[in-house]
Amino acid sequence: MLPVNINLEGKDVLVVGGGVVATRRVRTLQEQGALVHIVAPDISEELHQLHVEQKIIWHHRFFDPKDAADKWLVVAHTDSPRVQQQIKDACETHRVWCLVGGQPENSSFWFMAHRVLEDITVAVSAKANPKKAKRLVGEIAGFLSHTS
């Protein structure tokens, strides 16, 4: 995997799913200025509130492969392996970067654990071990905050 920074300001991004992990991903994407679209029959209370406040666009239905066609990124966090595979396949067809939740081997990108310290971003990827990556980011950020 190639570590990169992506400018998502004003870019349409799709999150499929409305549970706890999808909610966390939406927060991260919003922090980066992405225009977040959610496709899910049900969403968390937090996502519902964001929808009411018009901070996200909620498509209250199941995923359709055409949903991926005009997005910059797609994040798949459903509880259905079949739907996850449909999302991955649609993204490959439309040449869209796709994170398949819980399946780094089937994803074209994934989120790195990261922390921003003023003008420095510390990011760590530990493949399929997010807890390790989060711990290392904390240790590195702690070290940097004491040496700056």
Q: Of 132, 130, 63, 129, which Cα lies nearest the Cα of 91?
A: 63
Mean pLDDT score of the chain:
93
**pLDDT at position 128:** 74
pLDDT(79) > 90: yes
pLDDT(138) > 80: yes
Which amino acid is it at 135? R
Residues 96/68, Cβ–Cβ less than 8 Å:
yes
More confident position, 1 or 118: 118
pLDDT(132) > 80: yes
Euclidean distance between CA atoms 31 and 40, whole angstroms: 21
> In the structure encoding, which two tokens stand for residue 133, read together?
């990556």
Euclidean distance between CA atoms 16 and 83, whole angstroms: 9
- What's the pTM? 0.90
